[in-house]
Chains A and B, each alone.
Chain A
Amino acid sequence: NAGVTQTPKFRVLKTGQSMTLLCAQDMNHEYMYWYRQDPGMGLRLIHYSVGEGTTAKGEVPDGYNVSRLKKQNFLLGLESAAPSQTSVYFCASRPSGGSYEQYFGPGTRLTVT
């Protein structure tokens, strides 16, 4: 069981470039989440998904898009990167049901210059 994996681990983008972050989980979890973490800000939820084919906005969704075409994958896209999107991005998943025991990936460190 690999758990939750994220690709890539590091990336440097120039302003205006686009990229996609991939999150994959092999635990057959229904729920998947994308967070960003900035110094002094804690974790903030960007988008989430309650199942294959469904996505919804979280706390800070602007500038990001997501897709969940397959249950095991949750993609986070930046169409036109901005320096304000420099952050560490974490993906998480959890099974359906009420418990909030989330499993987090190792993170992607993104720098936008």
Chain B
Amino acid sequence: DAKTTQPTSMDCAEGRAANLPCNHSTISGNEYVYWYRQIHSQGPQYIIHGLKNNETNEMASLIITEDRKSSTLILPHATLRDTAVYYCIVRVHSGGYQKVTFGIGTKLQVIP
């Protein structure tokens, strides 16, 4: 699986959009980009995933660059409850074991 690089931490003002970047410059053509988040002391929570088109759901939007080497998770109106660690991972869609790394992620602090 391709390695991902994320900033260690970010701040965002409450009510503003939070834009969390992820670099995955070695991503291969059949690897999807996934985002999860982990609110303090809880289990990780799936947010969104995509292959090459931009995706949106009730939680967030995912923007993937045309060359697919980077992506941005957008929380359109951040709230205090969005304070969490956000993980960007990439993997293929196939069964069986794949070594998927939930790295350190980005610690997002939403500020009142």
Write the residues of chain A forming the contact surface with B, with a CB cutoff of 8 angstroms.
Answer: 4, 35, 40, 42-43, 45, 48, 50, 56, 58-59, 90, 92, 96-107
Picked from B46, B97, B101, the residue with its CB within 8 Å of the CB of A101 is B46
Q: How many residues on chain B are close to A (CB under 8 Å)?
A: 26
Known contacts being A96-B95, A98-B93, is A104 close to B43, with CB within 8 Å?
yes
CA distance A84 to B45 in the complex (A): 26
Partner of B102, one of A42, A103, A105: A42
* Interface hits, B75-112 → A, CB 8 Å: 87, 89, 91-97, 99-105
A43 touches B49 (CB 8 A): no
Q: Which of A4, A56, A58, A100 contacts B43 (CB 8 A)?
A: A4
Instruction: Give CA–CA (A96, B95) in the complex, Å.
Output: 8
> Are A59's CB and B99's CB within 8 A?
yes
A48 proximity list for chain B (CB < 8 A): 97
Sample of 24 A–B contacts (CB below 8 Å): A4-B43, A42-B101, A42-B103, A42-B105, A45-B100, A48-B97, A50-B96, A59-B99, A90-B43, A90-B44, A92-B43, A96-B95, A97-B93, A97-B95, A98-B94, A99-B49, A99-B93, A100-B91, A100-B93, A103-B46, A104-B44, A105-B43, A106-B43, A107-B43
